[in-house]
Amino acid sequence: MEPNAVASAALAGSVSTDLSVWGLFLQADWIVKTVMIALLLASFWCWAIIFEKILRLRRLRAQAQDFEDSFWSGGSLEDLYDRLDSRPTDPMSSIFIAAMREWRRSASKGLSEASTKAGLSQRIDRVMSITLGREMDHLERYMTFLASVGSTAPFIGLFGTVWGIMNSFQAIAVSKDTSLAVVAPGIAEALFATALGLVAAIPAVVAYNKISADLGRYAARLEAFAGEFSAILSRQFEERG
């Protein structure tokens, strides 16, 4: 057998020793390894965000239901405020407390003029709106990370794929052998990077759409409560007038 044939056979045998997932990672170029590690870390972080958001929204919906039951039970709003003032448990309670605190602060000074009452109504609406926005901003934290991973992970994986295929062509040039045994490991590594990109991106996109819809419905629920509470306070303004 000629020396070149022996070298090609030895190279083919050494390259194709392990095509398992772990073997592909170990045999990959350092740039491809960096891409794979980055995509894996992004995927783990996405799943942590997904589980945290789902569990938190489930808990907040239950807390909102408990608060609404207490709010509409016919009891005194003053007593409910005194009970929740020091420890608001959810955004809906925080909105209620912010409005009641402004109501009490102004009521203690006395309300006589219509302009003063109108100004108080506007301040209460503004306070509830600011509180709602602050609470929703806190709930939407890390959502941009899900969106970023969903949009960029496939391209990051594609970069690893292109780099791995370039290495495969370089292996062909060095070995002067176009057999599948020479190029298969490099191509497999490259495609593995693409697969990791999709593994990170697909759950991130699906979860982002689902959680965004759930957050939108929860925000609408808070806005509806704020509108109803504002109407209740307006009626009390008129009764006191």
Q: What is the per-residue pLDDT across 52-71, written as a single tens digit (0 to 9) for each?
A: 999 999 999 999 999 999 88
Dump pLDDT digits (tens) for 175-214: 666 666 666 667 777 788 888 999 999 999 999 999 999 9
Over residues 237-241, the mean pLDDT reads: 63
State the Cα–Cα distance between residues 184 and 173, nearest whole angstrom. Answer: 14
Closest by CA position to 28, among listed 156, 166, 154, 155: 166
What would the DSSP string read from start to end of 180-201? HHHHHHHHHHHHHHHHHHHHHH
Of the candidate ranges 99-103, 111-115, 219-223, the one whose mean pLDDT is the lowest: 111-115
Would residue 107 count as lying in a domain? yes
Would residue 75 count as lying in a domain? yes
Contact call for residues 53 and 145 (beta carbons, < 8 A):
no
pTM of the model: 0.79
State the Cα–Cα distance between residues 148 and 180, nearest whole angstrom. Answer: 37
Would residue 21 count as lying in a domain? no
Would residue 9 count as lying in a domain? no
Would residue 166 count as lying in a domain? yes
Total number of domains in the chain: 1
Would residue 19 count as lying in a domain? no
**pLDDT band with cut points at 50, 70 and 90 for residue 45:** very high
Expressed as residue numbers, the domain containing 140 is 27-240
Would residue 192 count as lying in a domain? yes
Query: H or E segment at 177?
Result: none
135 has pLDDT over 50: yes
Q: Tell me the one-letter amino acid at 72.
A: W
Contact call for residues 12 and 181 (beta carbons, < 8 A):
yes
Residue 86, SS3? coil
Contact call for residues 135 and 91 (beta carbons, < 8 A):
yes
Would residue 141 count as lying in a domain? yes
